[in-house]
């Protein structure tokens, strides 16, 4: 019976075992070498798994969810305020009901008192007058007694909060989100490539109408629009309405529920271009070189509270094409003339200090670009002619 040699090249030893790593018959020496190679891989793998474990230990969970916590706190504060407002409203209704009853009796008492005074002054009271006054006083006593024992039945429905009104989803990667089309809408006849959004609707200008649509692209309402081009649209949750900057009629407000239109006469002294809102303020850029930024208080009435001018905003040969607010920051898209250079800057909302700045390499004019906030911290630039997308990430 012939003996099989080791399968390793140039090895003359007799094979002693089948190596499960290479699936070959090899000698004991090479079997040990193969085994040692396998064992040698364990230590680096241990180091790798320990490194991954250390990264997990180092994760600051509070830091990762800090922005989400802020959103939840804002939601909580908003609805605390809603409950407080409803409480005050109903309490005022109760109070007013008693006040109305008391005032009615006071009016009657005053009238009777004047009658008594007049009879005393004229010294011509009759028994009939006395009996009538006694009857009125008796009725006043009855009425006041009823008021003193007034009670109300308040029918309070339980405040039902559906757990599904807050849904938490992990953000998908940018490329997976934008790689395929989810829905489309016909934008033929669109007069301005500006879309305003809130958490329920989209607002845009198409043909001779302002169109309000839901996120299923169903038209909810239309408002005739006979003015010129819309420069920008933003949503104010504080005011509960869209704010529009236009070429000729200044600032307009569009009410979501009634889709009615109001002109903001208090803001028509300037020609504005871009707009954005925080919970407390409206920010507008002036439509001119060396663009100024003006901050208006939203409540209790719209009033100017601050204004920044060049060079704090931009240089004399630059123009602010877009302004957007997010998390106490202002994102500015600035165009430099005559080079047509576009740059994006992130500024402090309180001081307008520049936090960071980057030139955007898009060989287009500003009106050929679209830009918006994406995923809370990223800024999305879109080339409208080629659908090319650029993302600026503040890391």
pLDDT for 292 equals: 94
- Integer CA distances (angstroms), 338 to 117, 321, 367, 381, in order: 89, 15, 15, 21
The pLDDT tens digits for 104-159 are: 999 999 999 998 898 888 888 888 988 998 999 999 999 999 999 988 888 888 88
Q: Give the pLDDT band of residue 40 (cuts 50, 70, 90).
A: confident
- In Å, the largest CA–CA distance within the chain is 155
CA atoms within 13 A on the CB side of 9: 0
pLDDT for 145 equals: 93
Tokens of 164: 């599904």
Mean of the per-residue pLDDT values of the chain: 83
The pLDDT tens digits for 302-339 are: 889 999 999 999 999 999 988 999 888 898 989 887 77
pLDDT for 67 equals: 85
Q: Beta strand 281-286 with 230-236: parallel, antiparallel or unpaired?
A: unpaired
pLDDT for 95 equals: 93
pLDDT for 228 equals: 72
* CA dist., res. 333 & res. 359, Å (int): 10
Lowest-confidence segment of 61-75, 77-91, 354-368 by average pLDDT: 354-368
Cα dihedral across residues 24, 27, 30, 32: positive or negative: positive
- Integer CA distances (angstroms), 21 to 40, 42, 313, in order: 14, 15, 68
CA atoms within 13 A on the CB side of 331: 20
pLDDT for 33 equals: 84
pLDDT for 384 equals: 58
The pLDDT of residue 291 is above 70: yes
pLDDT for 315 equals: 92
Query: What residues are paired with 19 via a beta bridge?
Result: 24
Which domains, and CATH codes, for the chain?
A: 1-41 (no CATH), 191-393 (2.120.10.30)
**In this structure, what DSSP letter does residue 14 have?**
B
State the distance between the two ends of the chain, measured CA to CA, in whole angstroms: 72
- Of 33 and 186, which is predicted with more confidence? 33
Lowest-confidence segment of 95-99, 227-231, 240-244, 307-311 by average pLDDT: 227-231
The pLDDT tens digits for 54-76 are: 989 999 989 888 888 998 998 89
Q: Give the pLDDT band of residue 395 (cuts 50, 70, 90).
A: very low
The pLDDT tens digits for 240-256 are: 899 988 877 778 888 87
Lowest-confidence segment of 107-111, 293-297, 366-370 by average pLDDT: 366-370
pLDDT for 380 equals: 74
């Amino acid at each position: 019976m012939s003996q099989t040699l080791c399968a390793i090249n140039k090895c003359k030893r007799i094979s002693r075992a089948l190596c499960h790593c290479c699936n070959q018959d090899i000698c004991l020496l090479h079997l040990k070498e193969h085994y040692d190679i396998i064992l040698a891989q364990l230590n680096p793998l241990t180091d790798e798994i320990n490194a991954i474990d250390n990264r997990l230990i180092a994760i600051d969970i509070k830091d990762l969810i800090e922005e989400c916590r802020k959103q939840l706190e804002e939601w909580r504060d908003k609805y605390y305020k809603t409950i407080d407002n409803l409480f005050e409203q109903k309490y005022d209704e109760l109070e007013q009901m008693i006040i109305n009853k008391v005032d009615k009796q006071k009016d009657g008492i005053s009238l009777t008192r004047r009658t008594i005074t007049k009879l005393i002054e004229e010294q011509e009271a009759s028994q009939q007058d006395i009996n009538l006054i006694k009857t009125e006083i008796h009725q006043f006593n009855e009425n006041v007694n009823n008021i003193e024992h007034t009670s109300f039945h308040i029918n309070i429905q339980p405040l039902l909060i559906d757990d599904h009104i807050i849904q938490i989803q992990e953000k998908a990667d940018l490329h997976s989100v934008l790689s395929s089309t989810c829905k489309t809408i016909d934008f033929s006849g669109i007069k301005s490539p500006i879309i305003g959004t809130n958490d329920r609707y989209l607002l845009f200008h198409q043909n001779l109408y302002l169109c309000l649509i839901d996120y299923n692209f169903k038209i909810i309402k239309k408002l005739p629009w006979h003015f010129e081009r819309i420069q920008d649209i933003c949503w104010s949750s504080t005011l509960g309405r869209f704010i529009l900057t236009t070429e000729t009629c200044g600032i307009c407000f569009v009410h979501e529920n009634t889709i009615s239109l109001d002109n903001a006469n208090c803001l028509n002294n300037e020609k504005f271009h871009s707009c954005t809102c925080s919970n407390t303020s409206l920010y507008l850029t002036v439509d001119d070189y060396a663009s100024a930024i003006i901050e208006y208080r939203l409540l209790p009435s719209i009033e100017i509270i601050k204004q920044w001018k060049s060079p704090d905003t931009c240089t004399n040969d630059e123009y602010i094409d877009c302004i957007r607010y997010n998390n106490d920051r202002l994102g500015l898209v600035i165009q430099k003339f005559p080079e047509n250079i576009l740059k994006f800057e992130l500024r402090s909302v309180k001081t307008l200090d520049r936090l960071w700045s980057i030139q955007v390499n898009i060989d287009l004019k500003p009106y050929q670009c679209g830009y918006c906030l994406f995923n809370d911290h990223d800024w999305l630039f879109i080339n409208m002619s080629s659908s090319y997308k650029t993302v600026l990430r503040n890391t």
